[in-house]
């Protein structure tokens, strides 16, 4: 009698406790799909149908992925592991998933990846590793992913990319490495990326672009490169000289420096002559410009109207650059006119900002 009562009590407790997360997961499966998101799972269930092609484990509490974790599910084509607290992926985790096409790993806590993290995924076409904590990538991390078409690495903490990082990704069409800490791009970054059509590297720490990257970017249908601290100086001059306004990405480069060009559009507002000007006072050995050596100086402000223009130009539009930084076409047009005239009258860069400017002030005041 006592045993019978204990069994009844046990059944009642089990009924009130409800099914376990693993049991709930398996009960959500069909022969081809299991949707087990937000179930509190702490590991990959091992009792699911081996025939499934879609497995959604997003939004759980999975923190470890062991080697050959998915060896039972070799038919998988889509695997969702996003929004878990996974800090690392061990070598060989996905090696048995040769049919996998889509892998979601975004919104985890990945700080690093082993070189063979994606070994065996030869049929993968979509990979999201965005919104993690990656600071670097192994050189051959994407080796063997020749069918990959979309790769998302945005919102990590990458400061550089290894040489040949994307080598072998001949089918890649879309690459997003925005919102990282990149300070430069590998010289061979685009070698072999013959199918790439969309590239985003906005909101990084890039300061300049080499000229040889311009024709590459021009072939893409979409390029995002805004919100970088572009330095519109001599390093950027070769790139500037190729700009024609024919591509949208050209309008997205806004100068963060030097100080006299801050806030200006590299395409519309910056003249090539301004990009390599001396920013410090010329040494005393530099030739001194005189009125005789710049014969156009006195003539340029001989009339009352010219004198008024130069006075206003030097005091407000050119020297202080106040109106140049305003985002209005009229302001920038007036500033550009002033700058061009000033360079014409003072052609010597070494003395333009000191001696010649001082003579302008004295002559045209």
Which CATH number, 3.40.50.150, 3.40.50.300, 2.40.160.60, 3.80.10.10, labels domain 21-206? 3.80.10.10
pLDDT at 285: 37
Closest CA to 199 of 265, 145, 150: 150
* pLDDT surpassing 60 at residue 307: no
Torsion sign, CA atoms 29, 131, 251, 313:
positive
Q: In terms of C-beta density within 10 A (0-12 exposed, 13-18 middle, 19 or more buried), how is residue 351 classed?
A: buried
Q: Where are the alpha helices (DSSP H) in the chain?
A: 2-17, 21-27, 214-218, 237-240, 296-300, 304-312, 329-345, 349-352, 355-364
d(CA 128, CA 126): 7
pLDDT band at 177 (very low <50, low <70, confident <90, very high): very high
* pLDDT surpassing 60 at residue 81: yes
Strand pairing partners for 280? Answer: none
pLDDT digit string, tens, across residues 102-124? 999 999 999 999 999 999 999 99
pLDDT at 3: 54
* pLDDT surpassing 50 at residue 165: yes
Backbone φ and ψ of 220, nearest 5°: -85, 145
Angle between helices 304-312 and 355-364 (to 10 degrees): 130
Higher pLDDT, 285 or 159: 159
* pLDDT surpassing 90 at residue 365: no
pLDDT band at 343 (very low <50, low <70, confident <90, very high): low
- % of the chain exceeding 90 in pLDDT: 61
* pLDDT surpassing 60 at residue 43: yes
Buried b (16+ CB within 10 A) or exposed e, 64-92: bbeeebbebbebbbbbbbbbbebebbeeb
pLDDT at 171: 97
Torsion sign, CA atoms 353, 356, 361, 365:
negative
- Residue 10 neighbours by CB under 8 Å, 6+ apart: none
* pLDDT surpassing 60 at residue 329: no
Buried b (16+ CB within 10 A) or exposed e, 25-41: bbeebeeeebbbbebeb
Strands (E), 166-254: 174-176, 198-200, 222-224, 230-231
Q: Where are the domains of the chain?
A: 21-206, 296-364
Higher pLDDT, 227 or 352: 227
Strand pairing partners for 52? Answer: none
């Amino acid at each position: 009698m006592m045993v019978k009562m204990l069994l009844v009590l046990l059944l009642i407790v089990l009924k009130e406790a409800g099914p376990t997360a693993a049991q709930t997961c398996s009960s959500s499966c069909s022969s081809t799909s299991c949707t087990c998101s937000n179930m509190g799972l702490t590991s990959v269930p091992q009792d699911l149908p081996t025939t499934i092609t879609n497995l959604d484990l997003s939004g759980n509490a999975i923190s470890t992925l062991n080697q050959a974790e998915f060896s039972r599910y070799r038919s998988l084509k889509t695997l969702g592991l996003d929004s878990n607290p996974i800090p690392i992926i061990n070598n060989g985790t996905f090696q048995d998933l040769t049919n996998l096409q889509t892998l979601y790993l975004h919104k985890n806590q990945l700080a690093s990846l082993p070189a063979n993290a994606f070994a065996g995924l030869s049929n993968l076409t979509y990979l999201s590793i965005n919104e993690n904590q990656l600071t670097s990538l192994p050189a051959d991390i994407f080796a063997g992913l020749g069918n990959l078409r979309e790769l998302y690495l945005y919102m990590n903490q990458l400061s550089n990319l290894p040489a040949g990082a994307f080598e072998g990704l001949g089918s890649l069409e879309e690459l997003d490495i925005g919102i990282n800490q990149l300070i430069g791009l590998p010289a061979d970054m685009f070698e072999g990326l013959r199918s790439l059509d969309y590239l985003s590297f906005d909101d990084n720490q890039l300061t300049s672009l080499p000229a040889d990257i311009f024709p590459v970017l021009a072939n893409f249908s979409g390029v995002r490169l805004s919100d970088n601290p572009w330095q519109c100086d001599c390093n950027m001059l070769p790139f500037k000289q190729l700009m024609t306004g024919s591509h949208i990405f050209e309008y997205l480069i806004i100068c963060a420096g030097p100080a006299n060009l801050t806030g200006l559009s590299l395409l519309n507002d910056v003249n090539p002559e301004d990009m390599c000007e001396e920013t410090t006072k010329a040494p005393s050995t530099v030739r001194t410009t005189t009125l005789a050596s710049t014969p156009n100086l006195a003539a340029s402000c001989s009339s009352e109207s010219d004198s008024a223009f130069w006075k206003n130009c030097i005091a407000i539009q050119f020297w202080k650059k106040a109106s140049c930084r305003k985002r209005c076409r009229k302001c920038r047009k007036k500033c550009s006119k002033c700058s061009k005239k000033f360079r014409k009258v003072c052609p010597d860069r070494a003395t333009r900002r000191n001696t010649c400017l001082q003579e302008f002030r004295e002559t045209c005041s």
